[in-house]
Amino acid sequence: MKTGLYLIPTTLGSFDTVNQVLPDNNNQITHQIKFFIVEQIRTARRFLKKINHPVEIDDMTFYELNKHTDKNMISHYLDAAKEGESLGLISEAGTPCVADPGSVIVRMAHERGIDVFPLVGPNSIILSLMASGFNGQSFAFNGYLPLDKGQRAKKIQQLEALAYRNNQTQIFIETPYRNSVLLDALITHCKPSTMICVASNLTLDDQYVKAMSRTQWAKEKVALKKKPTIFLVSKP
């Protein structure tokens, strides 16, 4: 195995789907790594235990990368590479560095001449786009929409206008407990013919994916609370 920074995907929900959504080759590579950069150490430990990592958890080294991380410490996270050690960057869910804080580490690796190896795994943004039937040639991920009702309404209309003008699929997310609020806002502020796709709990047994017009969504009842969900908007 070549020395470098490995971008290690995890599951999108329950770790019970590890064998269904992650290639065996990922595990073989991860088993050879003892240094990990993670969002939450507890979650990373559970994931590594689930894939039967042969090294004792206490013998591994973990560096946390989240909004609480001291930015002065980040510059030292790749020091192990100087000693010929590989490091793994693990996301809380899905693929690292996409809608995820890991990009700062990857950029630093490139600056230091450290090879970067992205591993194959599930990404909710891409999976939802695949399942939507919307334009996959031109699309944009917009992260979270504003919390303020007025600003959110304005943003929805701006994204809808982009979808029509550029024939570009607009993708965004929300904190799970506010999913229903966002869907209601889309129904309220989008044009009647605008297409909306809701993709929830992707890859899990209770996966829900449906794409239809705003008018049709106004008649639909769906429980999205506490379920990781992707929202997509498209021209008809």
pLDDT in tens, 64-81: 999 889 888 999 999 999
Give the end of a domain, one of 93, 118, 143.
Answer: 118
**Confidence (pLDDT) at 71:** 85
The verdict on 9 and 113 lying in the same domain is yes
The encoded tokens of residue 61 equal 């080294």
Q: What is the arithmetic mean of pLDDT over 93-99?
A: 93
Chain segment 38-68, per-residue pLDDT in tens: 999 999 999 999 999 999 999 999 999 998 8
The verdict on 94 and 192 lying in the same domain is no
pLDDT at position 225 over 90: no
Query: Tokens 């929805």 label which residue?
Result: 156
Cα separation, 47 vs 58, in Å, equals: 14
pLDDT at position 101 over 90: no
**Confidence (pLDDT) at 100:** 87
Cα separation, 115 vs 205, in Å, equals: 36
What pTM, to 2 d.p., does this model score?
0.93
Range of the domain at 69: 5-118
Say which CATH number the domain at 29 has: 3.40.1010.10
Neighbours of 227 (CB within 10 A): 19
Say which CATH number the domain at 129 has: 3.30.950.10
pLDDT at position 13 over 90: no
